[in-house]
Amino acid sequence: MDDSDEEGVFIDESDIIDEFIVDDEDLPDIDDDEDDDNGDGDGDDDDDDSASSMDELEEPCDHGVDDSVHVFKGHKKFESIYALACSPTDAALVATGGTDHKAFYWRIGQGDLSKKLVGHKETVSSLAFSSDGLFLASGGLDASVKIWDLSGNVKRSFGGPSEGSEFEWVRWHPNGHLVLAGCTDTNAYLWNTDKDTLLNVFCGHSKAVTCGEYTPDGKTFCTGSEDATLRIWNPRSGESIRVIRDYPYHTSGLTCLAITLDSTLALTGAEDGSFCVTNIATGKIFSSVSLHSESIQCIGLSPSVPWVATGGNDKKLVIWDLQHSASRIICNHEDEVSCLKWLGTSSLVASGCGNGQIVVTDTRSGVTVRTFKGHSRRIESLSVSADDNFLVSASKDSAARVFDISMFK
């Protein structure tokens, strides 16, 4: 893409290179077992509680179809797990959070060992580890953000929004202990966790702030909102440097956001099914494309090539070539694509689907190379371990599962 172009680049369905249809078998149901929850809240190891929940692990699918190598069932039965994060420095450490108002630390391959993180009064909606792996940030629908050390102790607890507001996402600065969070009260908040101080409140959106990301260089950040705008901010002054809105931008609320590794382009998906590419420095919209027929739910950048993947409620996974401003492949899944994750530096993308399946697609050909089964309900989040050996999934079926992906490295 060329900054010097006077006009934006627009793409329609005639630019599609190829389309592949992906047909997978339906996932059989899973019979859930009871899960105890003593609700103690002491922040210490809950060996008895964890053991009881892990001893009664979720039964595998009918006909024994369960491809996972580890199942974590510490969350309360019939509660959904929405938040998931793998440590960037410890390949075995995972954090999950859900509608039972709790988060957990647990370790891949270490059975029933877990540590309950108690403090939120509503659903834990978002989790993120700091880049050095020393702290975990959790955002809740109780209008609070909490910072946890690796022992499970609450180091900081931040509030600010009015009662009834909800934090939808949390992000760490790429090079420090600054936490950014987006809220349904139309604002974004920035804290210094080392100094326990609120640095700024970023006001300007007129509706909930649904997504946000720092640029990889750490100099600025972008937020997207249900008000159909993208804002680019000065972190120090709190000023909105640019506001991207109106034609040819999205016509409905933004749902997801990613920023290229060189910190130059903001990639956004929206409820109207459109995908936009915007230059952060100039605010120029390079591309505005609508190949999804329903809301885009997730977006992810390849770490090795200039490709981006989007997944939507229309059951499509679309692979885009940023250099040529064109779609490469459209893959049709059996159910909605709720989340996705590139697998290390490979050409493979894992798609979490509404039917509980995880479909691994080779983005060079559009071929499905593996379908992981084990969950009985929608996949809410995917994450990859620090050594790229394991794919971890969180689901509405109350379980988190671990799948071996070492063969794809």
pLDDT tens-place string over residues 171-180: 999 999 999 9
Is residue 62 classed as helix, strand or coil in its secondary structure? Answer: helix
Q: Which residues pair with 391 in a beta bridge?
A: 384, 403
Range with lowest mean pLDDT among 25-39, 151-165, 175-189, 284-298:
25-39
Under a CB-based contact definition with an 8 Å cutoff, are residues 119 and 142 in contact? no
Q: What's the CATH code of the domain at 399?
A: 2.130.10.10
DSSP 311-337: EETTSEEEEEETTTTEEEEEEE-SS-E
Count CB neighbours of 69 within 10 A.
Answer: 13
Q: How far apart are alpha carbons 97 and 85 in whole angstroms?
A: 9
pLDDT at residue 41 in the model: 38
Distance (Å, rounded) from C-alpha 228 to C-alpha 243?
A: 10
2: in domain: no
Asked if the structure places residue 105 within a domain, the reply is yes
Q: Strand 9-10 and strand 285-289: pairing?
A: parallel
In this structure, is residue 188 part of a structural domain?
yes
Residue 73 lies in a domain: yes
In a domain, 41, yes or no: yes
pTM: 0.84
Asked if the structure places residue 275 within a domain, the reply is: yes
**Which tokens go with 199?**
């640095």
286 within a domain of the structure (yes/no): yes
The predicted-structure confidence for 219-241, as pLDDT tens digits, reads as follows: 999 999 999 999 999 999 999 99
The domain of 115 spans: 9-408
Domain tally for the chain? 1
d(C-alpha 178, C-alpha 200), whole Å: 11
Tens digit of each residue's pLDDT (9 = 90 or more) over 271-307: 999 999 999 999 999 999 999 999 999 999 999 999 9
- In a domain? residue 49: yes
